[in-house]
Structure formats: C-alpha cells, structure tokens
A and B are shown apart, each in its own frame.
Chain A
Amino acid sequence: MDKAFLIQFTGSMTAVAILVALAALARIGRPSPGLDEARARTLLGEDFPDRNIDQLWIAREGRGALARSGACALVLIQVGDGYAARRLSWGQASSAMFRNGRLNIRLDEMAAPRAVLAFDNWPPKDLAA
C-alpha cells in the first residue's frame, strides 16, 4: 500500500478520534431525560400520524417504548439522544424473547436490527385481551 496514503489515513483516523473525544468531553448532546407517556405519544404520532394508540408501555428509565395499535405494535428505540420508530405485527412483539428483564424484538432490518426494551415483566399484566 502506498506510504503517503497510509500516513494520510492514519492522520485522518487520529483526527476522527480527537474530534469524537472532544464531542464526548463537551457533553453537548440533546437533553434526553427519558421518555414519559406524553413524549412517547408525541414521537409515535410524528412517525405514525394515522394510528391510534390503544396501550402504551414505557421501558425502564424511559429508554424506549412499545405501543399496541390494533393488530400492530409500534416501537420506539432510543438511539443515542434520539429515537427511531418502527411498526411490526403485534404477534411479533408479543412473542419476542423476554429474558433478564429485557424484551428483545427482532426487526430484521439492516438499519434497525433489533429493539431491546427493559420491562419488569412481559407480557405486561395490564395487557388488554
């Protein structure tokens, strides 16, 4: 490999590491106090404006949420200080693996491989029939 390229690439990697470290030290991410019900409904409403939310469960410490909307599940996944939302079938969500207080939902997308939500129990006790 070309020596000049290697030097340039190594220098660039170092610059990336320094800038990321600076960003971490600065602590200037968006405030993310964790989701409450109102915030979760707002975020889900932005991504799924036509869907009614029948039931909503907020993950521990507000780090994500899962909603039931008819035959669908709407999931909010915390991504850094933001969120990503996905829709899947309720059956897929309700039958997802629950172990050690974590619900692990496979989303099978390269852009969103899985959603991991911390709940005290699953299925939830207040789940409507």
Chain B
Amino acid sequence: MEDFNPVSLAVPFFILAIVLEIILARLGWAKANYEPKDTFASLAMGLGSSVAGLATAGAIVATSLWVYEHRLFDIPMTAVWAWVLIFLLEDKTYYWFHRLSHERRFWWASHVNHHTSQHYNLSTALRQTWTGGVAGTWLLWLPLSLIGFPPAMVAIQKGISLVYQFWIHTEAIGRMPRWFEAVFNTPSHHRVHHARNPRYLDRNYAGILIIWDRMFGTFQSELDAEPCRYGVVRNLATFNPLRVAFHEWGAIGRDLLKSRSPREVALYLFGPPGWSPDGSRETSSQIRARWAKGQGAVSPAAEAETVLTPDGRSSSPA
C-alpha cells in the first residue's frame, strides 16, 4: 500500500480526459477553449513539476519519516476512522497551504504559475509549480505525521486531493447539484478561484471540501452576471515555461535589490503580493476594496452569501 500513488495512476485518465474535452469542444458539445501555446505551457509546467519534485523528494520523505518517529500516537493505516480523520485534516491543511500560497508573496512566487493561464480547461490543472519543494510548503503537512499518521498515508491522501482537483478545472461542467455545491469544491467554485475579476480575487481556496471557505470567510459563489476572466492581475506576456516558473522569484529578487530597510526586505518577501513601500502597486485586498467602493460598497458578507437558485442562476438573499 505504501507504493500506492494516486497521481501516477491517474495520469492516463488525465490525458484521456483532456483529449475528450478537446473533442467535445470541437464538436460543440462542451464549452472549452484551448490555445495551443497556452496548452503547451500548461503541460510543460506539469511535466517539469514532476521532474523538479524529484530534487526535493528525498529530503521531504526523510523529514516526514523523522517526524513520524517522534509521533504522539500510533494511528493504524487499516482503520476506516483513520482515513476519515486524515481526509478532513489533510483537506483543512490544504486550505491553509493554499491560502498562504495566495496571501504571502514568498509562497505566491511558487504557486502563481498555476494561475498564469488565461484559459480554464483541464490542461490548466496540470500547470503545476516547479519550486514548491524549495518554498517549503510541504512543512505544513508534517504535523499530521507528528500526530501519528504514517507518512505514506499522508502522501496517499495528498495524492487523492490532487486527483480530485483535476476535474474541477473545466468550463465544460456548469454547476453540480445544489447539495454537492454546498459541500464540495466544484468546477463553478474553482472557476471563481482562477478568476482575476476583483470580486473573485483570493476566494475559494478549498481542495476537496468547500466548507473551509464557508467557515473561514473566503467563499464566493460564481455569478452568471459576472463571467470569470481568467489569469492573474498582471497577466503574463509569454508562454515560455521558464519565465512562467520563475518570473515572480525574479521580481522578488529585483525588489530585494532596491529595498532600503529590513522591514522592506521582510514585506517584499512575506507581505501580500502587490505590496510596495510607496503604495505604487496594489494588493488583492486593495483591488477588492477599490472595486467595492466603486460598486457602492456591498459588504463582503452579503456578497459571499449570494446564493444559487435551483436553475443555477445567482440571487442575493436580501
């Protein structure tokens, strides 16, 4: 069971699903747009991510095993309750990893490439980071091994989460049944996450369960009145995978070279993306605030509570 890798097993399914999405879109039976250079960039990022992951895999496995040796409890890998528990704990960990990866620049530099496509299709799901191991976000999963979950169990659950998140990168699926949308992350919820519209910025960080966003105040439903515009606030003018992978690290380096105090160094590294000492750039929350002001300042709570009608359209509860 320790050799079970959900992601490796799912790769043929990923390829077939992309082929199917392209064919259905070509026949006009599903909504999907594929731009060849964009598709190349996404798939090259996915392939490169697998290779780059090998560089840090050893250190990550060794650290996880060392932490597990100092575990607090013995949790059996064969118990159903243990799988239910790790499903919930891993998914919550993913939420906070993902939120950190958007709200702090050091980790955004690693994650941003996943958001650089102006398209939203199944190939976008494979546009993965090359620098995640170096950025160290894997440390966030170590407490699970410290509690007593075997590292193999943690790795399997992380893999299941990644495989789950593949199918939600599509415009071909409108909305799932209402009960499903209420509990699980769906194509509709994740389209919002990939959108650059001010209303949608830094929302819906969920992995499998959308309940975390609802609990922690980062949920935003997709509104038919406001179609998602995909990409990042400052879209990339290149499809070069090297530039896609490293552009934000380069930008951090340039900012650090011109920083004038330890505070500036700290905020350029760990402040929100878009922070600048003179305010000449905007963070996501500043963009949202400016947008909200222009909209007549609809409260974030009222905005997030916008609900879906049974036919999939949106309406405000008030």
Q: Which residues of chain B are near A23, meaning CB under 8 Å? A: 22, 34-36, 39, 123
Q: Which residues of chain A are near B50, meaning CB under 8 Å? A: 12
Task: Mark contacts of B228-272 with chain A using CB atoms, 8 A cut-off: 1 yes-contact digit, 0 otherwise.
Answer: 010100111111000100111011000000000000000000000
Task: Mark contacts of A5-21 with chain B using CB atoms, 8 A cut-off: 1 yes-contact digit, 0 otherwise.
Answer: 00001001101100110
Q: Which residues of chain B are near A33, meaning CB under 8 Å? A: none
Interface presence of A128 (CB below 8 A): no
Interface presence of B297 (CB below 8 A): no
Contact (A28, B26) CB under 8 Å given A16-B47, A49-B294, A111-B243: yes
Interface presence of B290 (CB below 8 A): yes
Task: Mark contacts of A79-99 with chain B using CB atoms, 8 A cut-off: 1 yes-contact digit, 0 otherwise.
Answer: 111111110000000000000
Interface presence of B82 (CB below 8 A): no
Tell me if B36 and A24 are in contact (CB < 8 A).
Answer: yes
How far is B32's CA from A51's CA once the two chains are assembled, in angstroms?
A: 33
A44-90 residues with Cβ-Cβ distance < 8 A to B are 46-47, 49-50, 77, 79-86
Q: Among B33, B35, B44, B246, point to the contact of A16 (Cβ < 8 A).
A: B44
Tell me if B51 and A49 are in contact (CB < 8 A).
Answer: no
Q: Which residues of chain A are near B119, meaning CB under 8 Å? A: 82
Interface presence of B19 (CB below 8 A): yes
Q: Which residues of chain A are near B235, meaning CB under 8 Å? A: 79, 82-85
How far is B38's CA from A79's CA once the two chains are assembled, in angstroms?
A: 9
Tell me if A113 and B238 are in contact (CB < 8 A).
Answer: yes
Tell me if B237 and A80 are in contact (CB < 8 A).
Answer: no
* Interface secondary structure of A, over-half rule: mixed
How far is B247's CA from A111's CA once the two chains are assembled, in angstroms?
A: 5
Q: How large is the interface on A (under 10, 10 to 19, 20 to 34, 35 or more residues)?
A: 35 or more
Q: Which residues of chain A are near B40, meaning CB under 8 Å? A: 16, 20
A50 to chain B, nearest CB (A): 8
Contact (A22, B22) CB under 8 Å given A82-B231, A109-B251: yes
Interface presence of B135 (CB below 8 A): no
Q: Among A9, A49, A112, point to the contact of B238 (Cβ < 8 A).
A: A112
Interface presence of B298 (CB below 8 A): no
A88 to chain B, nearest CB (A): 12
Tell me if B25 and A79 are in contact (CB < 8 A).
Answer: no
Interface residue total, chain B, C-beta cutoff 8 A? 41
B163 to chain A, nearest CB (A): 17
How far is B235's CA from A85's CA once the two chains are assembled, in angstroms?
A: 7
Closest to A20 in B: B40
Task: Mark contacts of B86-125 with chain A using CB atoms, 8 A cut-off: 1 yes-contact digit, 0 otherwise.
Answer: 0000000000000000000000000000000011000100
Tell me if B26 and A26 are in contact (CB < 8 A).
Answer: yes
A62 to chain B, nearest CB (A): 17
How far is B234's CA from A85's CA once the two chains are assembled, in angstroms?
A: 7
Task: Mark contacts of B282-314 with chain A using CB atoms, 8 A cut-off: 1 yes-contact digit, 0 otherwise.
Answer: 000000001100100000000000000000000
Q: Among A12, A46, A49, A79, point to the contact of B236 (Cβ < 8 A).
A: A79
Tell me if A80 and B236 are in contact (CB < 8 A).
Answer: no
Q: Which residues of chain A are near B47, meaning CB under 8 Å? A: 9, 12-13, 16
B1-50 residues with Cβ-Cβ distance < 8 A to A are 15, 18-19, 22-23, 25-26, 32-40, 43-44, 47, 50
Closest to B122 in A: A19
Interface presence of A38 (CB below 8 A): no
How far is B124's CA from A94's CA once the two chains are assembled, in angstroms?
A: 37
Interface presence of A110 (CB below 8 A): yes
Contact (A30, B35) CB under 8 Å given A16-B40, A22-B19: yes
Interface presence of A124 (CB below 8 A): no
On B, residues with C-beta under 8 Å from A are 15, 18-19, 22-23, 25-26, 32-40, 43-44, 47, 50-51, 118-119, 123, 229, 231, 234-239, 243, 246-248, 250-251, 290-291, 294
- New A-B contacts (12) at CB < 8 Å, excluding given A19-B123, A85-B234, A111-B248: A16-B43, A19-B22, A20-B40, A26-B34, A29-B34, A47-B234, A49-B291, A49-B294, A80-B118, A81-B35, A110-B250, A110-B251
Jot down 27 A-B pairs with beta carbons below 8 A, ordered by A. Answer: A9-B51, A16-B43, A19-B19, A20-B36, A20-B39, A22-B19, A23-B22, A23-B35, A26-B34, A28-B25, A29-B34, A29-B35, A46-B229, A79-B235, A81-B33, A81-B35, A81-B118, A82-B35, A82-B235, A84-B234, A84-B236, A86-B237, A111-B234, A111-B237, A112-B234, A113-B237, A113-B243
